[in-house]
Structure 1
Amino acid sequence: MLLTAAAALPRCCRPLVRWGSLATVWGLLALPGWAAVEMRVAVQADKTDMIIGSSTTAVIKTVSGESLGQVAGNQGVQAIAENSQIRLGSWSSSAFLLEPTQGGYVFINDTWYRGRILLLAQQGRLTAVNLVELEAYLYSVLGSEMPTSWPQAALQAQAVAARSYALYQRERAQGRPYDVSNTTASQVYRGIAAETTGTHQAVNATRHQVLTYGGQIIEAVFHSSSGGYTENVEDIWQRPVPYLRAVQDYDYDAPVFQWHQLLTQADFQQRVPGVGNLRSAVPERTTPRGRVVSIRLVGDQGSRVISGSDLRKALGLRSTLFTIGLAGDQIQIDGRGYGHGIGLSQWGARTMALQGYTYDQILSHYYQGAALSEVRLP
């Protein structure tokens, strides 16, 4: 796999500098018979059983490629976890491949996907991995991560970020049975149902384009809304990265730009034990933009220091950019934004696109100093 490295992305509103010289950054890791880049997406995990099948006749294989038999089109077959094995119809093994014929689609329970299905037995449970070509995977990621009615420039920026993120994770997935999950822990991926004409257009318009820094594909993380300003990555994750810098965001139209949440003392005690009725909540450490890194909670039964991310998870908050106050017997939480606040802001990208900025200008704003490059397969 080759990267055509471009000059660094220009400052916002300047023309894009197009492709420059070639540089090899990693070798293509392809499964037998598959020439394109194939993503391994965990779409089901920790299950006892599931139904799999295809829109056309499907071939059941071992992971080494040996054909075991066929399943008729639109006829699901039940997979059941049995200790360290999987029972799939009349077959039993620790892993199976289901491959559709004639360009068919595959399904797991009631969700349809492109590509193939890899079934794995893990600790007495089932994991289903969708093996899908990268660009086809992105058709769905775009529709799963961003409203497809948004301007093409925003969708195209998301496509480049998602492609970069996927390849970054894929390169670091050695030893794991999958590259990414289908949730916000990686990128949301809902299969064919999330695809639209708009997602196809955005992916195709940016085909093979990725973001790089120093000749390497970057970890192009993104989030919904920062609440006015993104963060330096080291202020959140304590590992400095030169292209993930704090910048002004343009997400003021986001419905989550400002938000409020009320909790009763009983709700709070159930979600955050060891404090009792909350009496005060004072941040001990914040980022320069005000996100809570750690906070001291004091109640009538004790006090504890908790990280902002752990409190966000416990209380179901949209972000760690919040303040906590008391209102009688209720706890009022006022916050801004949705997500970690690092990298591309999806709502900010939308605003920039509506104002006429192109996808490369949007990317140059949120990924400072990154280069727009092109992946080329041999």
Structure 2
Amino acid sequence: MTKKLLFLIFLQIIIFSLVLAEPKLPKQITLIYYNPQRNHQTIVMNTDKYLAGVVIGELGNSFSLEAMKAQAVVSRTWLIKNLKRHKSSPADFCSLAHCQVWRNPTAKSLQAVKDTQGEIIYPLPKEVFFTSSTTKKTDLAPNGKYYSAIAPDYYWKLTAPIDTIIKTFAINCSSIKNIYTDQKNIYLICSDKSYQMTKEEFFEKAIFSFGNQIIRSPFFNITRIENMVHFKGQGLGHGRGLPQWGAQARSEKGQDYQQIIKAYFPGHYVKKIDESKFPQELIEIISSLSL
């Protein structure tokens, strides 16, 4: 076997590996759709219609077209990473926040999907998130303020009994000596033992222990006054990935959706996957070579 033959075989293997590794976008989605009465049905639709429904479901129609395009790219990437999330149903996704909220598409959301046809975040992030607003450093504007601060009720306050904190920690604490926070954690000092929990973990657990009161984000500080705890925080949601209000603010400052994606996903960019001709061109070149 000649060196040229070995080289061409090796090159073909590399190219076909690239083709197989290329992210694939399904042509249709099976969705478990819940109506406002929580009745559900299984619907099969093309992927573009699904994504347009997600864009309007997650944002609403008042957001700018560029913010919608950014959401479309993030949601398309999330789709690829989480396909068949409901495979036991069997379905790909549901229409609730467990997956991505889906509503009937509008002309504007359909346009956002059309304008970003086949585009995803690349290289594929390990995890793909979006949130309402945030205080992450990726959201900082040149003036030192957060882009997301344009969100309604960006700043929030909450007062809760200290027993609710104990319930969230899921511990026995008969006598509380102190409770405080730093940048990342919340600390509970009992008479016999000290406990700590990350603010992100506390935010997730508080959903189940605070009832109708809402810890809106993991970006908060607390003060204790007797048997009550006062929260003062910023943002809504877990704060990771694309902040939707941040995207809106950036678009109002003239940034396009590709700039928005780069800002919130450092080291990544927007790539079109379904019409990528690079691997196919190489395959054709190799196939045309004489062995």
TM over 0.5, shorter chain: yes
Q: Which residue is equivalent to 1:262? A: 159
Paired residues of 2:32 and 2:40 also in contact (CA < 8 A): no
**Counting helix residues as a fraction of each chain, which structure ranks higher?**
2
2:28 maps to 1:38? yes
The 5 A counterparts of 1:214-225 are 216=124, 219-225=127-133
Q: Provide the C-alpha distance between the structure 2 equivalents of 1:109 and 1:147, rounded to a whole number of angstroms.
A: 20
One of 120, 134, 137 as aligned partner of 1:226:
134
Question: Once the 2 structures are TM-superposed, how far is the Cα of residue 198 of structure 1 from its aligned partner?
Answer: 1.7
**Counting strand residues as a fraction of each chain, which structure ranks higher?**
1
Q: Which residue is equivalent to 1:370? A: 268
Q: Which residue is equivalent to 1:304? A: 195
Q: TM-score normalised to the size of structure 2?
A: 0.70
Report the CA distance shift for 1:367/1:329 in structure 2 as closer, same or farther (over 3 A): same
Q: Which residue is equivalent to 2:14? A: none
Question: Once the 2 structures are TM-superposed, how far is the Cα of residue 174 of structure 1 from its aligned partner?
Answer: 8.0
One of 108, 125, 129 as aligned partner of 1:198:
108
Paired residues of 2:69 and 2:115 also in contact (CA < 8 A): yes
The 5 A counterparts of 1:269-308 are 269-273=166-170, 274-276=172-174, 278-283=176-181, 290=183, 292=184, 294-299=185-190, 303-308=194-199
2:101 maps to 1:188? yes
Return the letter of the residue paired with 1:258: Y
Q: Provide the C-alpha distance between the structure 2 equivalents of 1:326 and 1:249, rounded to a whole number of angstroms.
A: 27
Paired residues of 2:119 and 2:273 also in contact (CA < 8 A): yes
Report the CA distance shift for 1:109/1:260 in structure 2 as closer, same or farther (over 3 A): closer
Q: Provide the C-alpha distance between the structure 1 equivalents of 2:191 and 2:95, rounded to a whole number of angstroms.
A: 42
Question: Once the 2 structures are TM-superposed, how far is the Cα of residue 219 of structure 1 from its aligned partner?
Answer: 3.9
Question: Once the 2 structures are TM-superposed, how far is the Cα of residue 276 of structure 1 from its aligned partner?
Answer: 4.5
Q: Provide the C-alpha distance between the structure 1 equivalents of 2:232 and 2:150, rounded to a whole number of angstroms.
A: 17
Paired residues of 2:133 and 2:245 also in contact (CA < 8 A): yes
- Alpha-carbon RMSD across the aligned residues, in angstroms, is 3.5
Q: Provide the C-alpha distance between the structure 2 equivalents of 1:229 and 1:140, rounded to a whole number of angstroms.
A: 30
Paired residues of 1:41 and 1:182 also in contact (CA < 8 A): yes
Report the CA distance shift for 1:151/1:108 in structure 2 as closer, same or farther (over 3 A): closer
Q: Provide the C-alpha distance between the structure 2 equivalents of 1:176 and 1:26, rounded to a whole number of angstroms.
A: 27
Paired residues of 2:85 and 2:91 also in contact (CA < 8 A): no
Paired residues of 1:224 and 1:345 also in contact (CA < 8 A): yes
Paired residues of 1:228 and 1:251 also in contact (CA < 8 A): no
Q: Provide the C-alpha distance between the structure 1 equivalents of 2:113 and 2:71, rounded to a whole number of angstroms.
A: 9
One of 357, 361, 372 as aligned partner of 2:259:
361
Q: Which residue is equivalent to 2:56? A: 143
Q: Provide the C-alpha distance between the structure 2 equivalents of 1:140 and 1:276, rounded to a whole number of angstroms.
A: 50
2:248 maps to 1:350? yes
The 5 A counterparts of 1:225-244 are 225-227=133-135, 229-230=137-138
Q: Percent identity?
A: 22
Paired residues of 2:138 and 2:263 also in contact (CA < 8 A): no
Q: Larger relative CO (CA 8 A, sep 6+): 1 or 2? A: 2
Residue aligned with 2:221, SS: strand
Q: TM-score normalised to the size of structure 1?
A: 0.55
Question: Once the 2 structures are TM-superposed, how far is the Cα of residue 329 of structure 1 from its aligned partner?
Answer: 3.1
Q: Which residue is equivalent to 1:212? A: 122
Residue aligned with 2:128, SS: coil
Paired residues of 2:179 and 2:224 also in contact (CA < 8 A): no
Paired residues of 1:41 and 1:181 also in contact (CA < 8 A): yes
Question: Once the 2 structures are TM-superposed, how far is the Cα of residue 154 of structure 1 from its aligned partner?
Answer: 0.6
Aligned length: 246
Question: Once the 2 structures are TM-superposed, how far is the Cα of residue 358 of structure 1 from its aligned partner?
Answer: 1.1
Q: Which residue is equivalent to 2:206? A: 315
Report the CA distance shift for 1:310/1:211 in structure 2 as closer, same or farther (over 3 A): closer
Report the CA distance shift for 1:366/1:309 in structure 2 as closer, same or farther (over 3 A): closer
Residue aligned with 1:335, SS: strand
2:227 maps to 1:329? yes
Report the CA distance shift for 1:301/1:131 in structure 2 as closer, same or farther (over 3 A): farther
Question: Once the 2 structures are TM-superposed, how far is the Cα of residue 265 of structure 1 from its aligned partner?
Answer: 3.2
